[in-house]
Amino acid sequence: MAFKYALCSEVFSTPLSETITQIAMAGFDGIEIAPFNAADSVEEVSADQRSELRRQAEGAGLEIVGLHWLLVSPPGLHLTTEDSSIRDHTTGYLQALARFCSDLGGKVMIFGSPRQRNLGDGEDPRSGFDRAAEALKEVGQTCEDLGVQLLLEALSPAETNFLQTIEQVLELRDAIDSSGIGYMLDCKAMSSMPEGIEGTILRHGKDAGHFHANEPDGKGPGMGGLDFAPILSSLAESGYDGWVSTEPFDYKPDPATVAATALQTLRKAAGAE
């Protein structure tokens, strides 16, 4: 099985230019950038700074895969809120993120951000769904124009009350009806789904735009008990041909060990070692 492997930037708590070097030295093929690692708002990142980040990655032999953790900053962003001014601000920032992603050479933006999409207490789920679809239609058009995809991420009920299954994500994608909007798969999230990780991959892997490798408890691959060999085998069987990107939430004992263990685990699981 031949996959390309990326690592998420927030694993290393260093300036983004240093993180690029560290991820390249660890042996990864790509980097997936959390925008807050670049600035509180990407609108603060100048054209020259964007060009320099892209140049640094290319010089290190890394591809910039795209972005994730999209709405952590700046404060005040929310997708499903009843407040139309906040939704408009969120739509505008997602469009700014799409331009940032494109300027860096990235192709995907992973929409997780559970706190910034949660429905408020007592809110009607259908109304929240409709508000999200309306907000993302403009984003989808911007992504289409730039050759970028915003990928919706189903998350477990422990993390969010909005978009908890792949089926719900597909319903929202279809309601938006834009080639700029797709979906992705994440091991941690799939571990809570009825068909489990491998079953969900076999059903939905072919059309997924991206894949996150992590343990159900949030550790990186190889730092827990998950066997990634059948997972990567299922990915290959499904017809998935995108990146395998490590997204851990636990960086113990240290980022370098987490990175090295993840890459070794995934390569071994794919039969590359």
Per-residue pLDDT tens over the stretch 134-183: 999 999 999 999 999 999 999 999 999 999 999 999 999 999 999 999 99
Per residue in 229-248, pLDDT (tens digit) is 999 999 999 999 999 999 99
Structurally, the chain folds into a number of domains equal to 1
Q: pLDDT tier at 23 (50, 70, 90 boundaries)?
A: very high
Residue 235 in tokens:
């990915």
Nearest CA to 190 out of 129, 240, 128, 139 is that of: 240
Confidence at residue 214, expressed as pLDDT on a 0 to 100 scale: 98
State the Cα–Cα distance between residues 236 and 189, nearest whole angstrom: 19
70 touches 113 (CB < 8 A): yes
Per residue in 40-85, pLDDT (tens digit) is 999 999 999 999 999 999 999 999 999 999 999 999 999 999 999 9
Range of the domain at 109: 4-269
Mean pLDDT score of the chain: 97
State the Cα–Cα distance between residues 65 and 46, nearest whole angstrom: 20
State the Cα–Cα distance between residues 156 and 114, nearest whole angstrom: 10
State the Cα–Cα distance between residues 104 and 237, nearest whole angstrom: 31
Residue 273 pLDDT more than 80? Answer: no
Confidence at residue 2, expressed as pLDDT on a 0 to 100 scale: 85
- We report the CATH number of the domain holding residue 110 as 3.20.20.150
Residue 208 pLDDT more than 80? Answer: yes
Per residue in 97-112, pLDDT (tens digit) is 999 999 999 999 999 9
